[in-house]
Amino acid sequence: MTPFTTKQLEDALTAKLTLNFGKSTDEASDQEMMKACALVLRDVMAIRGVEAVKEMRRYRKKQVHYMSLEFLIGRSLMKNAYNLGVLSELKEALEHLGFKASDIFEAEPDAGLGNGGLGRLAACYLDSMTTLDIPATGYSICYELGIFKQKIVEGQQVELPDNWMELGGSAWLLPKPDEAQEVLFGGNVRQFWNDGRLHIVQEDASKVLAVPCDMVVAGYGTKNVNTLRLWDAKPVKSVDMDLFARGEYLKASEEEAMAETITKILYPEDNHYEGKSLRLKQQYFFVSATVQSIVTRHLATYGTLRNFHEKNVIQINDTHPALVVPELMRILVDEAGMEWDDAWEITRQSVAYTNHTVLAEALERWPQNLMATLLPRVWQIVLEISRRWQEKVEEFYHHDYNKTAKMAIVWDGEVRMANLCIAGGSTVNGVSALHSDILRRDVFKEAYGMEPEKFQNVTNGIDHRRWLSEINPRLDAFIQELTGGPEYLLHPSALKKLDAYADDASALERLDKIKRQNKEEFCAHVNRKRNMTLDPSAIFDVQVKRLHEYKRQLLNVLHIIALYQSLQDNPNCIEQSQIFLFGAKAAPGYAVAKRIIRLINSLSDQIEHDPICKDKLKVVFLENYRVSLAERLMPASEVSQQISTAGKEASGTGNMKFMMNGALTVGTLDGANVEMHELLGDENMFLFGLRAEEVEQMKREGYISQRLYHSDPKLQRCLDALRHGFRDGVSYEDLYQRLLFGAGGSMADEYFLLADFAAYCDAEKRMAKTYVNRKAWNRMSLHNIARSGLFAADRSIAEYADNIWHVPHKSLE
C-alpha cells in the first residue's frame, strides 16, 4: 500500500520545489515545503481518484452524496500521509532534506470550512466512507475566509479574517472550471406550451458561476479515494467592458464583487435583511450547483433520470441544504419534462435528512417574501410541495388545525425548512438515542405519528484513526501492544480487549505515564505560543466547544467562582491543583455568548493576580480554538466537561474524542452521554443534574430561579460576584439579571444553571477526590478507552449504509 519510499519522497519533493516554486531545498521556506508536500500527496490521490471513478462507472455503483454547509477538516497533510501509509517516510524525507517535520506540519493552516461539531462530523464521515470503500462525494462551499480567526483583546473576542487559502490551504484544491454550473437568482418565471407540454423558464435572472474546487480524500488501508467538492462563486462576466470604457470602474466590476460575496465567509450575520438574503443565496448556490453536478454526471453514465434514485442518495446534514428537494424537483419537472408525481417519487427516494438540533431557533425558517423574490421558480415549487403535503396532513389528522399548523411547510409568512426535509425525504434520523427519541415524541411528534417508518437513529461517531491513533501515538502504541496489533484501526470494537487489563498495575502505571507526557507536551506548546506556564501535575479540566448558552460554559464559570471564594475563606481547601481550560468561538452577533467569553477572561485575570491561587487554581482561555489545537489538547485532557442542559444537545462529538483519549466525563445525561453512561455505568464517569424529563416537568410547574438564589448562600454569593465584577472593573450585571429575572422575553435561567449548580459542584468535588487515587483514576480511564469503540465513525457510516443508503461497504467484523 505504500506509494513511496523515503528516497522517492525526497526526490518528489525536490522536483516539486524546483518545478512549482523555482527553489532548491536550501532556498525553500517551511511554507513552500508544506505546499510541495501537499502537491506530491495530492498527485498520488488524484491518480487513485481517476481509477476509483472508472471502477464506479464500470460497475455502475450507487453513489452517496453528502451535503453539508460545513466541512471542518482542519489540517490535511499529516492526515493524508497517515491514511496513505507514508507518514513516517514523509517525516524522514523532510528531516533528510534539512527541514524539521513538526515545523512543516505546523505551517499548514486549518481549512476554514466550518465552525463546530456539524462540520467536524462531516469530515469524519467522509474519511470513514472512503475507508469503508463506499463511493461518495462530500459537497460544501469554498469559503474564502472561513468562519473567522478569533483574537482576544482586553478579554473580549475580536473577529479577524481567516485567510486559510492564501496561507497554503489552496494547495490541496483541484479547480475544475470545465464542470462549472450556472446558478440563477431573481428574475421572472415565464410559462408557455410547446410540443404538447408546459415549459417553464426563469428570465431576466442574475447569473452566478459555481466553479468546483475538488479536494481528494484518501481512505485508510484502501486504494479507494473520494472527493470533497467545494463550490467557489465567480461572475459569468468579470468586467462590464462598456461601463469600464466610460470610466465607471467600480460599477464595471460590481457583478464580480456581488458573486464573490456569496463564498466570502461562513454564516454571515443574519439579523438584518441583507444578511438573511446572503445566507439564502449561499444555501441555494450550494444546493443548485451540487444537484446540477450530480444530475450531469448521472446523465453522462446512464442517459436517463428515471433511475436517478436507484443510483444516488443525497444525505443532507441539517437543514442548510434543504432546498435540494425543490431544486431536484425543478430539474426533473422543468428540464427533464417529468410529471409531478414521477418526479416527486424519485426525489423522495433520493433524499435523506439528518437532524442535528431540538432548539426551535435552530430549525431554519425563511421569510416567504424573500424566497419568492430571490428564488421565484423554487418558491413556486415549494408552494406546490406545501399544498400537497398539507392536504396529506389534513386527511391523516382529520383537519386538526393545531397539527396542520405545526407540520405545514409554508405557514404564517415563513418557509419551514425542517418540515420541507421531512416531507421530501425518505428518512429522518437523529444523532443519538436520546435525541432521536425527543424528535419522535416532541419536536416532530406529529410527523412521526403520520410516517413512523421514516424515523431512525444513527448515533454520531468520530474518526478514531485521527482522534486517537494519529494525534496520540503513545496511547496508540500502548493499545496495539495490549490488544495484539493494529486491529482496532479498522475494527474499533477490538478496543474492548483493554478491559482485561483493568487490574494490571503495570498497565495502569504506563497509562498514567502516557497522560503525564502528553500533558508536558501541551504545557510546552502553550509556553511557546503564549509565554504561559502550566503545571503538568494539575488536573486538566477542559471545556472546549462552540459557545452557546445551552452548552453551559457559564455553569462551569459559576463553579470556578465558588471554588475561588472557598479559597478566600480557607487557603488550604484545595489539595490538588486544578487548571480549567476553555476554548470556544461565539457567533459574531451572539452578544450573550461574547459576554461569557469576557467573563471567563475576567475571572482568569482575577485568579492569576491573586497569590492565594498560586499552584492551586488557574483558568486559561485558549484563543482561536480549532481542529489543530484540539489535536494537541485532547491527548493531554483529563476531565471532559459535557454539561449541557439535559434534552438540548443532540449528540456531541467532543465527548467521544475525550473518552477515546482517556479523559473522564463530568456530565449530564444529555446527547450521546446517555449511551456513554450505558457503556460505562455510574462508576466510570461523574454524572450530575436534572434529566431531560425533569427539566420539562420543572418548566411545566413554573421554574423560579430566584428561590434557589435565596435558599443557597453559596450560590447567592457566587451570583453577587457577577454584579460586582473582578479586578478589571467590568460588571456582569446583565448575566446576573438573565439568570434571575430573564431577558428579552425569555424565562429566567432558561437553561437551568442554578437548578443544577449544587449537583455540579458536588460532581466536581467527587472528581477531584477520585483524581488523588491514581490507581482508581487510571482504571476508570482505561475503561473509557476500552469502551469507546462504539463511537467510531466507521460504525456510524456502516449503519447509514445498511439502513438508509442501502449501499455495500467493507465489513467491520
Give the active site residues: 356, 545-546, 551, 653, 657
Non-local (6+) Cβ contacts of 387 within 8 A are none
Asked whether the beta carbons of 708 and 753 are under 8 A apart, the reply is no
- For residue 140, which amino acid is it? S
CA angle 466, 471, 474 (to 5 degrees): 125
Closest CA to 143 of 46, 278, 241, 239: 278
Q: How far is CA 546 from CA 205, 473, 625, in A?
A: 38, 27, 9
- For residue 91, which amino acid is it? K
Asked whether the beta carbons of 189 and 201 are under 8 A apart, the reply is yes
The distance of Cα 282 from the centroid of its chain, to the nearest Å, equals 18
C-alpha cell at 72: 471542518
DSSP summary character for residue 621 = E
Closest CA to 77 of 50, 111, 118: 111
Q: Rounded distance, CA 685 to CA 688, Å?
A: 10
Compute the Cα dihedral for 20, 23, 29, 30 and give only its sign: positive
Instruction: Give the bridge partners for 209, in sequence order.
Output: 182, 234
Q: Rounded distance, CA 116 to CA 542, Å?
A: 16
Closest CA to 291 of 369, 196, 381: 381
Q: Which single residue is written with the C-alpha cell 457583478? A: 255
**In the Cβ-directed half-sphere of 276, how many Cα atoms lie within 13 Å?**
14
Which helix (H) or strand (E) is 294 found in, with range? Answer: helix 273-302
Q: Rounded distance, CA 715 to CA 704, Å?
A: 15
- For residue 756, which amino acid is it? D
Q: Angle 77-84/87-96 helices, nearest 10 degrees?
A: 120
What string of DSSP letters covers 353-417? EE-----GGGS-EEEHHHHHHH-HHHHHHHHHHHHHHHHHHHHHTTT-HHHHHHH-SEETTEEEH
Residue 717's SS3 state is helix
DSSP summary character for residue 792 = B
